[in-house]
Structure 1
Amino acid sequence: MLENVKEASDAAATTAKTFIRVTEVWVPDEADGRLKRAGGLYGDLTEFEAVSGKEIFALGEGLPGKAWAEQKPIVLKGFRGSYFKRTDAAEAAGLTAGIAMPVFAGSRLTAVVTFLFGDDSEHVGAVEVWAPGEDPSGPLALQDGYFGTADHFAWISRHTRFPKGMGLPGKTWESGRPKLFHDLGISHRFLRSDSAADAGMTAGLGLPVSAPSGDTHIVTLLSALGTPIARQFEIWSLTGDGYFTVSDGVPDRLPPSARVTPGEGILGTVAATGVPVATGEPGSAIVAIPIHRNGKVTDIAAWYF
């Protein structure tokens, strides 16, 4: 029975429209320091892809530049009349909201990752930003987020606090490493499981986002069966012998001895450079985001489409 449920879930995740419609990676240009596009996943939004490939962002400019300047994840829930630079092209593509997440290795910005969303009646999922309030020891409160049509879940999230070690945001904060929660609707570890089940949420990924100032924000990506974040999630962690192995996820396609050598392949390049990637075609596309601790990549959160 469990196998049949898993097969149905995998099939739905493979064919369903994804919650995140566009993923982009912007990196500092060596010549002038502005952000240029280093990769992206656009699906069938070819015109928006073409417009985006011509953009460059200075510090504080556009959504990527603002996240860079403020050194924290930034959520933008409406493009018209905002600092977003590609509004006409985004609206033509059906994109209405986005989040930008800076990736720092110590004090050095390696990239800004942007996720863009489209608003429609079947859009279920969430991307949240959590941080402590005035007390840096916590608890975590919701700073901002995008919830698609999950209005009740959004209300619950705004009224929930997470001490260190509690729930997906709190456990991610406590460990300083990415965390993956499965079966959100029934998980005793997920404090909002009842409302997650009502909203159709199925899996959650927590990502720590550190700033040169020492501040930490937690970004959580919550996936639904009908509009999943991705087909599969994996977390790769550094081992004592210098390789990366899967520490969580659904590594059905991998042998137990699978490992990543820094510098080899897509994940190995992420491990060696500390720069995220978003590349590939539907059915074989990957997003991989490095997590830095003390200026060194210790984990890689990867998901596949």
Structure 2
Amino acid sequence: MSVIAPEVATRAFVEVTEVWVPDGDRLVWSSGNYGTLDTFAAVSAKQSFARGEGLPGRAWDEARPVVLKQFDGSYFQRAEAARAAGLTCAVAVPIFAGSALKAVIVVLCADDESRTGAIEVWRESDGLMMLDDGYYGAARHFEWVSQHTHFPRGQGLPGGVWAANAPMLMRDLGSGYRFIRAESAGRAGLTTGLGLPITVPGDRTYVLTLLSARGTPIAQRFELWNARAAGTAGAREAVLADGICQREGPLWDDENEARVAAWQGPIGEVLGTGIPAVKHDNPALTAGYASMVAVPIYRDGTISHVVAWYY
């Protein structure tokens, strides 16, 4: 558990988060948070994507996370609406249970000179984790360092997630000895790192990392829920295993284990449905946060963890 002193955020690093789920041979909208971008939200809710079509369909077809840094002239089908909303780039992450696609998560960002953070996709190649692609906002030097850094198994955040085959949180990125890029992270103002194993069919290994800065955070609270630690088959329960919060106060009571059952609150909903969820203006959210994203992590076809972030 870690609690970080609160700091006033300027603008969020991620503007839009949405979830697309299979419905027959197409992906349809399931949930999302668009902030004040009502027109883009209305356009998105009417969309659907065949396999290989648009950004969600591309992530489905290629069975890998996809980073799209420019919409103009690309296969992104909502380019005009995105341009009108000030959105400039997107990352799509497929969630598979074995060979079955459960959902595609898409996050969209707006580029300017103040927003700093990182959404990175790492891929195992020849026994090392290499940067496949990423979006860094204004953190240009950190982007260059990342492009020239690789990780053996167990080293750094990407290598640690790879070795554990489990999500991980890292704190104090600018000063932490475990974070290999600490010096450049400190220069960029990055403070918190979340790493997720992305399971896809076949023998490819991917890790998604979300690196958050205080001034333009990806989230203000992160939680890791361990479904296997609950000791029940079929991911019917999960226990809170780790977390970081920028607000004062503890994440949990050390004398009473934080535990949720399937269908109990937003985390339990993800355990029950097996698909990611985006919640906004929901009274059931933890500690009065306005929005959250909860993502199931699959291992051997079943949920091993649920990762949540709040903002």
TM-score bin, normalised by smaller chain: over 0.9
Matched, 1:175 2:175: no
2:157–2:195 CA contact under 8 A, matched in 1: yes
Out of 243, 250, 268, the residue aligned to residue 249 of structure 1 is 243
Give identity over the alignment, percent. 48
For residues 121 and 95 of structure 2, the distance between their equivalents in structure 1, rounded to whole angstroms, comes to: 14
Secondary structure of 2:193's counterpart equals strand
Counterpart position of 2:264: 264
Out of 286, 295, 300, the residue aligned to residue 301 of structure 2 is 295
1:125–1:222 CA contact under 8 A, matched in 2: yes
Deviation at 1:77, TM superposition (A): 0.3
Counterpart position of 2:123: 131
2:56–2:92 CA contact under 8 A, matched in 1: yes
Out of 109, 116, 119, the residue aligned to residue 111 of structure 2 is 119
For residues 66 and 216 of structure 2, the distance between their equivalents in structure 1, rounded to whole angstroms, comes to: 22
Deviation at 1:191, TM superposition (A): 0.1
Counterpart position of 1:230: 219
1:235–1:247 CA contact under 8 A, matched in 2: yes
TM-score (norm 1): 0.93
Matched, 1:210 2:199: yes
Counterpart mapping for 1:1-305 below 5 A: 6-7=4-5, 10-12=6-8, 15-29=9-23, 32-133=24-125, 135=126, 138-238=127-227, 239-242=229-232, 243-250=237-244, 252-256=250-254, 257-281=257-281, 283-305=289-311
1:236–1:245 CA contact under 8 A, matched in 2: yes
1:235–1:248 CA contact under 8 A, matched in 2: yes
1:274–1:292 CA contact under 8 A, matched in 2: no
Letter in 1 for 2:169: L
For residues 191 and 180 of structure 2, the distance between their equivalents in structure 1, rounded to whole angstroms, comes to: 14
Q: Deviations over 1:228-270 (max 9, x none)?
A: 0001001000224333111111373533422111232211121
Q: Deviations over 1:188-228 (max 9, x none)?
A: 00000000000000101001111111312111000011100
Letter in 1 for 2:98: G
Secondary structure of 2:151's counterpart equals coil
**CA-atom RMSD, angstroms?**
1.5
Letter in 1 for 2:107: F
For residues 99 and 131 of structure 1, the distance between their equivalents in structure 2, rounded to whole angstroms, comes to: 15
For residues 254 and 114 of structure 1, the distance between their equivalents in structure 2, rounded to whole angstroms, comes to: 30
For residues 45 and 11 of structure 1, the distance between their equivalents in structure 2, rounded to whole angstroms, comes to: 25
Name structure 1 gaps, 5 residues minimum. none
2:7–2:214 CA contact under 8 A, matched in 1: no
TM-score (norm 2): 0.91
2:224–2:307 CA contact under 8 A, matched in 1: yes
Q: Deviations over 1:265-301 (max 9, x none)?
A: 2111211222000111393211001100011101011
Secondary structure of 2:267's counterpart equals helix
Counterpart position of 2:285: none
For residues 62 and 250 of structure 1, the distance between their equivalents in structure 2, rounded to whole angstroms, comes to: 34
Counterpart position of 2:286: none
Corresponding pairs, count:
293
